[in-house]
Homo-oligomer: A and B are copies of this chain.
Amino acid sequence: MSQKKQHTVAVIGSGNWGSTIAKILAENTSSHPDLFTPNVQMWVFEEQIQIPSDSSHHSKFGDKPQNLTEVINSVHENVKYLPGIALPENLIANPDIEDVVKDATILVFNLPHQFIEGILDQIRGRHLPYARAISCVKGVDVTDGEVTLFSELIMEKLGVYCGSLSGANIAPEVAAEKFSETTIGYDTPPMDVDAEDGSPAENRIKVDEQRQTKTRPTHTKLTRVPPELVTVDGELLRTLFGRPYFHVNVVRDVAGVALSGALKNIVALAAGFVAGKKWGENGKAAVIRVGVLEMVKFGRTWFPQSVEERTFTEESAGIADLVASCSAGRNFQSAKHAVEKGVSVDEIEKSEMNGQKLQGTSTAKSIHKFLEKHGKVADYPLFDAVNGILEGKTSVGSLPKLLDKRFG
């Protein structure tokens, strides 16, 4: 086999999880120069920051406001969103999205879901047509009674194949290189596999047929990865994302991975409500159990051809992420504090989240709107209860009763 051209990796997003994933990718590109060009571009929404006076970098910059990208590239630390973690020197912060994506053959999306549509509009037409993408974005888009995963939205808007990454990955712990696992959903497009031996590329990808509406990609417009590049498949992705402290499992169920990363935040809110009430570990475990069942039911009902139950019950993206999110995630903590202080989750979001938005509250509302439109709210008593609590219509005290109608 002749020498292949290297892949170039770009990360879109630079919050604590975006920066952590970018750190991992840059570690791997530099240790695999045969497969990847070393530099990883990370798109950063440019902002002016002041270096905190207790930062070890304060003496270098003083009190004068600095561009965040310049600080990152100077001290190799995202002092605002991932302070205290040394980033590899081959990780380059870049405020220019067009410049970030133009040479990238692998695009990794890792930013809050409310920013994804806007950034895709800026990227469209400026990226390589044969690029492949991985979405680390949590949440789903619900419009006109249809639920769209962000991996689907990326495929649709850019016309590039997009997998998904999700797992029990509380960002500061991964950044500190504590042991964890993740799941990548990636079903290598057959055209990419065929390209190896020069045989005709097939344009078929396993998707739910009934989900191929006019607003969804049919995958017939994908451009195949040129044969001079190594095929983007499970093996390449394990090399790119795996670290001794970050174990990667690759599965074909892209939708299940993306969906569990979205739905688990609804369950984490419920677990937070239970914890706020001091109902103990039994009660929280019950909520997690019922939560997995509703996640499985949602996947099987609305993505029947593509979602596999075992993604929810066996993968890091499923049960493990749910367990971790119900102990230490932001949605869990905010819901817990809301109950403890007797205020709404919205109020906690405003007072404690520093301008950031909880992913779980918007997901709970979107999913509820979707289920309502399809007349299926009653099939998901936990999801329904969380939405009701968020809207102030349901009391946390009624959760046990709602979870088991036999016990009025």
Contact = CB atoms under 8 A, between A and B. Distances in A.
B320 A174 contact: no
B403 A284 contact: no
Contact of A289 (B169, B244, B316): B316
A168 B281 contact: yes
B288 A320 contact: yes
A256 to B, nearest CB: 14
A320 B404 CA distance: 16
A295 to B, nearest CB: 11
B314 A179 contact: no
A305 interface: no
A183 B136 CA distance: 36
20 contacts: A167-B282, A173-B280, A173-B281, A174-B282, A179-B279, A179-B400, A181-B282, A244-B401, A245-B400, A247-B404, A281-B323, A285-B316, A285-B319, A285-B324, A286-B320, A288-B323, A289-B320, A292-B313, A293-B314, A313-B319
Contact of A170 (B169, B247, B282, B404): B282
A56 to B, nearest CB: 23
A301 B206 CA distance: 32
Contacts of A315: 289
Contacts of A404: 181, 247
B320 A319 contact: no
Interface of A: 167-170, 173-174, 178-181, 238, 242, 244-245, 247, 274, 279-286, 288-289, 292-293, 313-316, 319-321, 323-324, 327-328, 399-401, 403-404, 406-407
Contacts of A316: 285-286, 289
A180 B274 CA distance: 11
Contact of A282 (B173, B238, B283): B173
A180 B327 contact: no
A172 to B, nearest CB: 8
Nearest to A280: B173
Contacts of A180: 280, 282-283, 285-286
Nearest to A296: B314
Nearest to A309: B313
A314 B289 contact: yes
Contacts of A279: 173, 178-179
Nearest to A400: B179
Contacts of A274: 179
Contacts of A285: 168, 180-181, 316, 319-321, 323-324
Contacts of A181: 282, 285-286, 289, 404
A161 to B, nearest CB: 25
Nearest to A182: B282
Nearest to A329: B281
A245 B282 CA distance: 11
Contacts of A245: 400
A181 B399 CA distance: 13
Contacts of A314: 289, 292-293, 313
